[in-house]
Amino acid sequence: MDTNLWSVIYGVHATLPIMLKQGLGHIVNTSSLAGLVPYPMQVIYDATKYAVVGLSESLRYEYAEKEIRFSVICPGDIITPIFSKIVDSEGSGAEIPENGYPVGEAVSYSLDKVSEGHGRIIVPEQPNNDIYGGYILGNQQVEESS
């Protein structure tokens, strides 16, 4: 909760008054695909990431007329060292998923979407848009692996 949600709340709380004073700004928060699609056995993680999406999207509308923009990045499997911190049943780090997306491409894509003014940024766009769309339409089961 502290890392995934409260750090975002504190960051917004610290930066929003500055942006209001200067009359513009853009806050970019990081959630996860798990903030859009629930994954089994990750209830706390999912809940915190859903909260970040909800917070970001609510503030986006609340502050739009004040020229303060909000974006929320919802990454799927990005190739970072975080996988080595996930411990499997044998005490080893998790393997990087085959469909993992290179971090440099994720950053570039995300920054392009932020500069275009997008509010919700799903990265990589595919297959994650299909996963999200399938979940929303009830056409796709969510698998245990994200």
User: C-alpha distances in angstroms, 115 versus 15, 18, 51, 85, 132?
Assistant: 19, 20, 24, 32, 23
What residues contact residue 121 under an 8 Å CB cut-off, 6+ apart?
A: 71, 72, 73, 74, 109, 110, 113, 114
- Annotated catalytic residue within 39, 45, 63, 135: 45
Residue 135 falls in the annotated catalytic set: no
Element (H, E) at 68: strand 68-75
Pairwise CA distance, residues 113 & 92, whole Å = 36
Total residues belonging to the chain = 146
Catalytic residues: 45
